[in-house]
Each structure stands twice: as C-alpha cells, then as structure tokens.
C-alpha cells in the first residue's frame, strides 16, 4: 500500500479557500494518498481537508484591524507551529495570507520541511523588501500573474507562473440575457451590482457610501435595479443597518447571499471594493468603478509604501487606468455615481474594456490548479 503523505495548508480568506480547494482536488488526481490538514474555509473542508482552526480568525485586513486581533492571531500561529513541528508534514503550503504564513514557513523550512507559498505577496506594489524574507522562508513560489515570475528569478527563488484560477472558472463570453432570465430580472432595466467587500471591516467602511451612491444613481436613472451580493450573515446585517440609517429602504435593491458572479454577469455596471473581486469583474468583461476606504492611519501607511499608482488588479495588469479608482476621501457618493454613469454611458469606453479584459483572460487562463499541483509534486517525492 502506498505511503500516506501529509500536506499542511493555511488559507486566510475566501479567495484562498477557493484556491486551496482546487489545489487539493488537483493534487488528489495525481497522488490520491495525501492527507490535508491546517487552516481553511468551507470549500477546503468540502475538498477533504481536516480543518484545525477556522479561516475566519485570520480574515482581517489593515494595520488597525490586525492590531485589534494581534494576540489571537499570534496565538493561533504558535499553536499551529508547535503542532506541525511536533508532527512534521511532508509539505507545507501557505495560501496567500503572507503576514501570517511567511513567519510560519520560515520556522518550518529551518526544520527541513519544504514550504510552498501559493500567491505571491504584492512585492511589485509595496513592501518589496519582503523578497529577502521570502527567500529564507519559501522553497517554491507559485505566482498568479505573469509579471511576478521574473522578480523571483532575479533573486534565485524557485517560482512557477501558474495563471489565475478565476480565468479557468469564469466564462470567456458571459451570457447577460440568460443570467437575467435565470435571476428573473428585467431585460430592459439598468442593473448595477454593488460589491462592498467580503470582510466585515470593508462593508462597515463602505456600506453607507454605496447606499448614498445608489440613491443618487436611482434619482438619475428611472428603470434601475441594484444587486448586492454579500457572503455572510454578518456582512448582510451591516449592510441592512446602513440601509436603515441611510433611509434606503425604498431603493430598488436585492441583497443576495453570495452569487457575486451571477450579479456581475447580470449587471450593466459595477461599483466594487478593491480586491480579488475586481479581477472577477474584469474576467466577466464588466465595466466597474473601484473604490476603497480604510482607517486614516492604515491609508497613510499604505500610501507611503506604494510603488505604483494603481490598487485595482485590472489596472495593475494593464499597467494603466483602464477603469476609475476613487479612494478614501475622494470616494464621495457624488464622485462614485458620476464616474460609474460616465463609464456606462460611453460606448467607446465599453468596447475598449471588453477588448482589454479579453486579453487579460487569455493571458491568465493556464489550468492553474493542475499547473500548481505539478510544481508541488516533486517536493512530495523527496520525502
């Protein structure tokens, strides 16, 4: 009977849970006798992972937010490190969450455990000095974007460009009409998707602004309907409270539990918080306005460390502003509403976006999970 190998994984948020679940399935196709343990979400658990700590404990963003949960997060990492060093896995895979995973990877690699980091930290955007720590901590980097691999090659860090799994999952030509029929939405209405983020802190910072923006748009477009996909009961409650505060109860608005892709496909335009969802919107070929608000101290620190003028992934991949980014104090309802209406009203801009987003899709479609699994398997055969 083949020896059972153990792979420990840590994912810190919903996007990592998706990546991790696909990777687990792909590895199993090549090597069925593998046990998966660690920190993950519902998708990784469904894929067969033994979850030791819930992923939500790590899903905080920004300096202020991390400080609030610092002791709990450090405590989890200490417990996990002790458990993995007492019973070493054959391989450790950190799925994104670099602030949590790199320290853990460093300790494990020093004890001879191979470490793979899946999703390069944004060293091309800010905190580029982290590449030196990565070199000490990571046996192999799996990069989602094509411009990342050369950065690691220059530092002699083994790296494989694996593409982005969303490009494999999402349709090249989404069918808006079919989706509207499926969701029982009018084919003639203007549909706008509002995506204020997946974390509670994001929705807290953006909900009031999104609702005020929707009210302004509704005043200008008579036949409009808003879709608000929210991933948890907590974020839904935060948004509902903001609706009540902002007197938005009469807005033509539907809140959804999840179904973000459906909402985007059905939409004529999207108001969206910066993050992975902006890439999803681009791959679904939808016009968007990207926004973000964080505590002032967090914003000040991130601005000081930034290397480039973009925060949205579509703009970073294009290396130019293909869609508007309106951030922090500039992100007023008036600015956001006008930017989205201007974009949706320009046939030339919409045609240009569809071409640009199509190129991105082609470049990122690499059969990511299988490419990542193939890069990982040699580390299992060494043990």
Q: What pTM did the predictor assign?
A: 0.82
| 256 close to 228: Cβ distance less than 8 angstroms | yes
In a domain, 169, yes or no: no
C-alpha distances (whole Å) from 28 to each of 145, 279, 323 are 25, 28, 39
Per residue in 291-342, pLDDT tens?
988 766 666 566 656 656 778 899 999 989 999 999 988 999 999 999 999 9
Query: 126 and 195 share a domain?
Result: no
Count, residues in the chain: 383
What range does the domain containing 45 cover? 5-163+366-381
- Which residue, 8, 10, 6, 7, is CA-closest to 76? 10
Percent of the chain with pLDDT over 90: 71
Helix, strand and coil percent figures for the chain, each rounded to 5:
50, 20, 30
Handedness of CA 12, 18, 23, 28 (dihedral sign): positive
Which residues have a Cβ under 8 Å from the Cβ of 77 and sit 6 or more positions away? 100, 103, 104
Write the DSSP assignment of 155-174 as a string of letters: TT--EEE---HHHHHS-SS-
- Which residue, 119, 90, 121, 116, is CA-closest to 104? 116
In a domain, 170, yes or no: no
C-alpha distances (whole Å) from 96 to each of 48, 208, 211, 276 are 20, 30, 31, 12
Two tokens, residue 110: 């020093």
In a domain, 158, yes or no: yes
For residue 69, the model assigns a pLDDT of 54
In a domain, 62, yes or no: yes
Please tell me the distance from the alpha carbon of residue 98 to that of residue 4, in angstroms, as a whole number: 28
| 203 close to 197: Cβ distance less than 8 angstroms | yes
For residue 199, the model assigns a pLDDT of 83
Query: 149 and 207 share a domain?
Result: no
Domain count of the chain? 2
Output DSSP code: residue 126: B
Per residue in 81-139, pLDDT tens?
999 999 999 999 999 889 889 999 999 999 999 999 999 998 876 777 899 999 999 99
Q: Residue written as tokens 């202020």?
A: 64
Query: 337 and 376 share a domain?
Result: no
Query: 305 and 233 share a domain?
Result: yes
Query: 150 and 226 share a domain?
Result: no
Query: 271 and 346 share a domain?
Result: yes
Per residue in 355-369, pLDDT tens?
999 999 999 999 999
Chain centroid offset of residue 284 CA: 15
Query: 230 and 319 share a domain?
Result: yes
The residue that leads in pLDDT, 286 or 54, is: 286
Query: 49 and 97 share a domain?
Result: yes
Query: 340 and 214 share a domain?
Result: yes
């Amino acid at each position: 009977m083949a020896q059972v190998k153990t792979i420990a994984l840590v994912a810190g948020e919903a996007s990592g849970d998706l990546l991790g679940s696909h990777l687990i399935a792909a590895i199993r196709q090549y090597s069925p006798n593998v046990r998966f343990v660690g920190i993950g979400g519902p998708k990784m658990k469904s894929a067969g992972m033994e979850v030791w700590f819930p992923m939500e404990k790590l899903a905080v963003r920004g300096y202020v937010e991390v400080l609030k949960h610092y002791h709990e997060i450090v405590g989890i990492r200490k417990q996990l490190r002790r458990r993995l060093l007492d019973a070493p896995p054959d391989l450790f895979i950190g799925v994104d969450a670099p602030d949590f995973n790199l320290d853990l990877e460093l300790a494990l690699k020093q004890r001879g455990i191979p470490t793979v980091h899946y999703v390069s930290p944004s060293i091309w955007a800010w905190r580029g000095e982290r590449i030196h720590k990565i070199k000490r901590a990571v046996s192999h980097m799996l990069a989602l974007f094509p411009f990342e691999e050369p950065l690691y090659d220059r530092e002699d860090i083994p790296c494989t460009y694996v593409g982005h799994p969303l490009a494999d999952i999402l349709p090249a030509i989404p069918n808006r009409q079919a989706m509207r029929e499926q969701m029982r939405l009018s084919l003639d209405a203007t549909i706008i998707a509002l995506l204020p983020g997946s974390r509670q802190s994001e929705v807290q910072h953006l909900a009031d602004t999104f609702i005020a923006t929707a009210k302004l748009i509704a005043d200008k477009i008579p036949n409009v309907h808003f879709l608000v996909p929210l991933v948890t009961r907590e974020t839904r409650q935060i948004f509902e409270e903001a609706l009540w505060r902002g007197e938005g109860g009469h807005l033509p608005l539907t809140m959804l539990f999840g179904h973000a892709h459906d909402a985007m496909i059905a939409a004529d335009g999207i108001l969206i918080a910066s993050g992975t969802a902006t890439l999803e919107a681009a791959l679904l070929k939808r016009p968007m306005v990207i926004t973000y608000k964080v505590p002032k101290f967090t914003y000040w620190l991130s601005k000081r460390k930034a290397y480039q003028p973009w925060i949205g992934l579509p703009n970073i991949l294009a290396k130019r502003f293909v869609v508007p980014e309106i951030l922090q104090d500039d992100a007023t309802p008036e600015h956001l509403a006008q930017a989205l209406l201007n974009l949706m009203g320009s046939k030339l801009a919409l045609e240009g976006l569809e071409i640009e987003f199509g190129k991105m899709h082609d470049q990122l479609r690499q059969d990511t999970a299988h490419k990542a699994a193939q890069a990982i398997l040699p580390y299992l055969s060494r043990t």
